[in-house]
Amino acid sequence: MPELKTIGLFVLTALAEIIGCYLPYLWLKQGKSIWLLLPALLSLSLFAWLLTLHPTAAGRVYAAYGGVYIATALIWLWLVDGIKPSHWDLIGGGVALLGMAIIMFAPRQL
């Protein structure tokens, strides 16, 4: 179960980062309210805090997190932007998740 907790935490972290970047994008590129910067700031703060909750070395967490971020961003592309990922997107996301699993869950000597 610790693997599921780790992956869940990565997904929450990715959502916080994506939302924190998407809201300023809406303001800058689509003319939405500048007030979107407030929840964006909160979301990016949550993102940084969530990264600190992982019990392993920061560099390893950042490297593995990237794989989950890629997969989460592809889901965002589909659900929020309304663009269905191509099979190449899905293959790339799968490779990124495989890399995350190797980095996070490989046996290690202490």
- Residue 34 within a domain: yes
Q: Which helix (H) or strand (E) holds 79?
A: helix 58-79
Which string of b and e fits 40-55 if b means at least 16 CB within 10 Å? beebbebbeebbeebe
Give the residue numbers spanning the domain of 100: 2-105
- Residue 63 within a domain: yes
HSE-CB at 100 with a 13 A cutoff on CA atoms is: 24
pLDDT per residue as tens digits for the range 67-101: 999 999 999 999 999 999 999 999 999 999 999 88
- Residue 110 within a domain: no
Task: Please state, in angstroms and rounded to a whole number, the distance separating the CA atoms of residues 34 and 7.
Answer: 33
pTM: 0.84
- Residue 14 within a domain: yes
Looking at per-residue confidence, does 52 or 30 come out higher? 30
Nearest to 93 by CA among 66, 71, 63, 61: 71
